[in-house]
Each structure stands twice: as structure tokens, then as C-alpha cells.
């Protein structure tokens, strides 16, 4: 019990730290739209190695938050602790320039345990979206040169409490109650250098902070059907329920002057006298549907495929004041396909190398972002990528060390291409819990 209490305390401390470190330090211009970009489900190394396949994944020593029915695989009298790290190296390229960046952080943390023989529960915290960008644009106007700086940081995290129920020998059903929280700050600064002494321009800044604090729900089902003695067919279904949520925005627009390197506010542009700087905006979650199929030969190999559909990608954010200008991004139908393959290790093998599981996979996502170009034509940005990895068993297979390497590409060189290479490391363990010792 003392050892398991230490696991719980460690999980809580790491979860508190994840909320502060989940923001991505990479400079990703595409993250300025909506509530940012998401790395889900690829922030989990074991999932990234399989190309993002999740709907039919279930194990007794790891947590899969993307299909809550999978918690049913947790064994009785056991405690599962699952934690992962991720390091990203990215490049942004267009037809004229390129930029390289790197960052690393805690990817997720999760725990799970049984409540009864047929009822299992899990807790997890993981980043939902990241906002991190900074860019500068220069132009010339009447009597002055103007320097426009765009910047933003923050993100939204997801704290999850899930439940799964064994409805039969091979059938399970589950749901997640999710708490979405976080803050995003965006700003635009205009700096003028006067070229005509008869023209006067004031430097100005527009900034806005969006605070998210809402609940959402999703559910899942898994069914596994043996085919003879050596094969098994798996089916996974998921659904995220649609919901319109309110978020708090706090905005400010003002002019300022700079003396001796310090800025001093001069006049307030927004809010107007008598108005409140805080107002409400909407955040909409679409109905997201997912289906997965897997085919497994016992102790030999497994192949799985997932398909996901949503009326738009991620969460739809609508700002009624539009203080930072009209966005060219539009919300569109989103389709994602994931394909994964595993060469399963034999945990009973004498040689350790034969006990290792090797994974590979790929994914393709259509409609990740959609823009309206200057000529009025829409332009849809797709994403594709692949992953490789290995699962190293420890302690007779009850604990696992997952190592992954993955690559993804979003966008196009004509507009902007975001390439990201990631390395992941996760540890999953399953310990006995509430087992009475027969001997001291």
C-alpha cells in the first residue's frame, strides 16, 4: 500500500506540473487559429509508433484515453501507472525562407485501477491544444514605415475521469468526463518609424486573453471476437458528444509611447468608457465519430486501422468582438485515417530480444485547416505522417518501456509547410493492489 500511495502522490504532482508545461515552445504559425493546434493522439509514444491507431487498443498495463472502453482490460487488484515524454524538432518552410526550432515536455500522465470486477476507472491529464507563434511583418504606409508583430502563447489541457464496464466476456463500454482548462494570450503590436515629419503615428497594441474552463464528454465501445484458436477480430467505436461552451475573453487595445526603453500607455482604444474589458465567446465541440478494426494472430502480429470523422477539426472558437482582425481560416469537414502494424513479442521467450514488440504505422488527415486565399478560393491543408517504435518489457511483462520516433508534415511550400520530427518515451507499469499477504 505504501508503494501505491507513492505512485498516487507522484501522479498528482506530475499532473500539476503538466498543466504548466503542456504549452508547446515551438514557433508554429498555424497555431494562431482557433484554440491552437493539437498533437493528439500522437503525444503518446506507444500511439505515435502505431501511426495513431487507438480505437481497438486495450492492455492491462497501460491507459488508452481515446477509447474509454479500453479501461476494462485493467486486471482486478491492480494499479496502472502510465506516463510519457515527447521531444519535437520542427521546421517551417515556404518558397523564400525556413525556420528551425526544438522543444520537449511531459506528454501525458494517467493512472487506472478496478472498482469492482466489472467496473474500472482511470484518470489522465494531457494537452489538448498548443498556441505558440511569433512573426514580424514590415510595410510602408503614408509617411511612415510600419512594423507589425504577431505573437501568442498558451494552450488548453484536458483532465479526464473515465469509466469502463465489462458487459460480457468480450464486450466493454465506457465514457470519459473531461474538464477542459487553460489560457491563451494573443497580441498584435504596430510600431511606426516616421519618414515624413508632417505625419504623426502612435504605436499601438491589441491583446486578448482567452480563458477556458468547461466540461465535455465522450464514449466508446470495444468488442473482441476470437476466430478459431489463433486469431482475433477487434472492433472499436467512439463518439464525442457535440456541445456549445462559453469561454471568457479579456481584451485591451491601446496606444503607447516608449521612453528610455520603457513603454507607457497613452490612450485606451478598447474597451470604450463604461464598457467591460471582459466578455463571453463561444467554443463549440462537434460530434466526432470514430471506428477501428484490428486483426490479430496471437503472440505473432497485429494489424489495425482507424477512421475518424468530424464536421470540423478540433474546437470551433468564435469571438464576437473580432479585436485582432478577421481570420482567413474556416472550419471544414475533417477526415483522419490511421494504419498500424505490430510484430508482437513473446513474453515467455528465453531470449530478451524475442520479447520485444515492434510497431510501425502511418496517418493521413484531410481538412486539418482550411483557408480562403487572396483570390477568394479556398485552400485545404492536409497532414500526413508515419511512426516507428519498440515496446521493451520489464518485470515479466507487467511493466513496459515504449520508445517511438515519428514524423508529420502539415501544409504546403506555396503557403507554409510545418514539418515535425518527434521522439517519445513512456513508462507503463501495473502493480498488485490490495492483495492480502498470506505470510509476513
The answer to whether 106 touches 88, Cβ cutoff 8 Å, is no
Q: How far apart are CA 389 and CA 44, in angstroms?
A: 12
Per the structure block, which three cell numbers stand in for 435?
492483495
Per-residue confidence band for 144, with pLDDT thresholds at 50, 70 and 90: confident
Identify which has the larger pLDDT, 242 or 24.
Answer: 242
pLDDT at 25: 56
Alpha helices in 22-145 (DSSP H): 45-49
Per-residue confidence band for 15, with pLDDT thresholds at 50, 70 and 90: very low
pLDDT at 209: 95
CA 97 to chain centre: 28
Per-residue confidence band for 221, with pLDDT thresholds at 50, 70 and 90: very high
In which residue are the cell numbers 504623426 written? 200
With 50 as the cut, is the pLDDT of residue 20 above it?
Answer: no
CA 31 to chain centre: 12
Q: How far apart are CA 8 and CA 207, in angstroms?
A: 40
Q: Which of 47-51, 119-123, 166-170, 319-323 has the lowest mean pLDDT?
A: 319-323
pLDDT at 426: 95
Percent of the chain with pLDDT over 90: 55
Q: How far apart are CA 351 and CA 405, in angstroms?
A: 25
Q: Which of 41-45, 46-50, 186-190, 198-202 has the lowest mean pLDDT?
A: 198-202
CA torsion sign for 51, 56, 60, 66 is positive
3-state secondary structure of 302: strand
Residues 6+ apart with CB under 8 A from 261: none
Q: How far apart are CA 383 and CA 380, in angstroms?
A: 10
Per-residue confidence band for 76, with pLDDT thresholds at 50, 70 and 90: confident
Average the pLDDT over 271-281 and give the result.
89
Per the structure block, which three cell numbers stand in for 430?
501495473
With residue 180 as reference, give the H or E element that holds it: strand 171-194
The answer to whether 331 touches 284, Cβ cutoff 8 Å, is no
Pairing of strands 171-194, 231-240: unpaired
Comparing C-alpha atoms, which of 408, 317, 422, 303 is closest to residue 365?
408
Using the 8-state DSSP alphabet, how is residue 204 labeled? E
Cis peptide bond N-terminal to 41, omega within 30: yes
Q: How far apart are CA 195 and CA 409, in angstroms?
A: 42
| Torsion region of 51: left, alpha or beta (phi above 0 gives left; psi -120 to 50 gives alpha) | left
Q: How far apart are CA 391 and CA 255, in angstroms?
A: 56
Average the pLDDT over 422-429 and give the result.
94
Please, how many CA atoms are within 13 Å of residue 121, restricted to the half-sphere of its CB? 6
Q: How far apart are CA 175 and CA 65, in angstroms?
A: 10
pLDDT at 433: 63
With 50 as the cut, is the pLDDT of residue 233 above it?
Answer: yes
pLDDT at 395: 67
pLDDT at 12: 45
- Length of the chain equals 440
Per residue in 281-325, pLDDT (tens digit) is 999 999 999 999 999 998 899 999 999 999 887 888 888 777 787
Using the 8-state DSSP alphabet, how is residue 373 labeled? -
The answer to whether 61 touches 400, Cβ cutoff 8 Å, is yes
Q: How far apart are CA 115 and CA 96, in angstroms?
A: 58
Q: How far apart are CA 315 and CA 41, in angstroms?
A: 15
Amino acid at each position: 500500500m505504501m508503494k501505491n500511495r507513492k505512485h498516487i502522490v507522484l501522479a498528482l504532482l506530475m499532473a500539476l506540473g503538466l498543466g504548466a508545461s503542456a504549452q508547446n515552445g515551438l514557433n508554429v504559425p498555424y497555431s494562431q487559429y482557433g484554440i491552437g493546434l493539437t498533437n493528439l493522439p500522437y503525444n503518446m509514444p506507444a500511439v505515435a509508433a502505431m501511426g495513431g491507431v487507438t480505437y481497438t487498443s486495450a492492455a492491462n498495463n497501460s491507459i488508452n484515453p481515446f477509447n474509454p472502453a479500453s479501461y476494462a482490460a485493467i486486471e482486478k487488484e491492480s494499479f496502472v501507472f502510465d506516463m510519457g515524454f515527447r521531444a519535437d524538432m520542427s521546421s517551417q518552410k515556404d518558397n523564400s525562407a525556413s525556420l528551425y526550432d526544438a522543444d520537449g515536455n511531459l506528454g501525458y500522465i494517467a493512472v487506472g485501477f478496478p472498482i469492482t470486477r466489472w467496473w474500472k476507472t482511470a484518470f489522465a491529464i494531457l494537452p489538448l491544444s498548443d498556441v505558440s507563434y511569433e512573426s514580424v511583418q514590415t510595410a510602408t504606409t503614408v509617411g511612415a514605415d510600419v512594423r507589425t508583430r504577431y505573437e501568442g502563447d498558451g494552450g488548453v489541457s484536458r483532465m479526464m475521469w473515465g469509466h469502463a464496464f465489462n458487459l460480457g466476456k468480450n464486450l466493454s463500454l465506457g465514457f470519459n468526463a473531461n474538464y477542459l482548462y487553460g489560457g491563451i494570450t494573443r497580441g498584435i503590436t504596430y510600431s511606426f518609424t516616421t519618414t515624413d515629419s508632417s505625419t504623426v503615428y502612435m504605436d499601438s497594441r491589441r491583446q486578448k486573453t482567452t480563458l477556458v474552463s468547461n466540461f465535455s464528454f465522450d464514449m466508446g465501445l470495444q468488442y473482441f471476437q476470437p476466430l478459431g484458436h489463433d486469431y482475433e477480430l477487434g472492433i472499436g467505436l467512439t463518439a464525442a458528444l457535440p456541445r456549445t461552451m462559453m469561454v471568457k475573453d479579456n481584451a485591451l487595445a491601446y496606444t503607447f509611447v516608449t521612453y528610455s526603453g520603457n513603454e507607457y500607455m497613452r490612450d485606451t482604444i478598447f474597451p470604450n468608457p463604461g464598457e467591460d474589458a471582459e466578455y463571453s465567446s463561444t467554443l463549440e465541440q462537434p460530434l466526432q465519430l470514430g471506428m477501428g478494426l484490428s486483426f490479430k494472430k496471437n503472440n505473432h502480429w497485429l494489424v489495425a486501422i482507424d477512421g475518424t470523422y468530424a464536421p470540423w477539426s478540433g474546437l470551433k472558437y468564435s469571438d464576437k468582438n473580432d479585436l485582432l482582425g478577421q481570420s482567413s481560416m474556416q472550419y471544414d469537414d475533417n477526415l483522419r485515417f490511421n494504419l498500424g502494424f505490430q510484430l508482437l513479442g513473446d513474453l515467455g521467450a528465453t531470449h530478451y530480444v524475442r520479447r520485444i514488440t515492434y510497431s510501425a504505422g502511418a496517418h493521413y488527415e484531410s481538412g486539418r485547416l482550411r483557408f480562403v486565399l487572396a483570390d477568394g478560393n479556398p485552400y485545404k491543408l492536409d497532414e500526413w505522417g508515419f511512426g516507428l517504435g519498440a515496446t521493451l518489457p520489464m518485470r515479466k511483462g507487467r511493466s513496459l518501456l515504449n520508445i517511438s520516433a515519428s514524423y508529420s508534415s502539415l501544409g504546403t511550400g506555396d503557403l507554409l509547410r510545418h514539418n515535425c520530427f518527434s521522439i517519445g518515451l513512456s513508462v507503463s507499469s501495473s502493480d498488485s493492489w490490495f492483495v492480502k499477504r498470506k505470510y509476513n
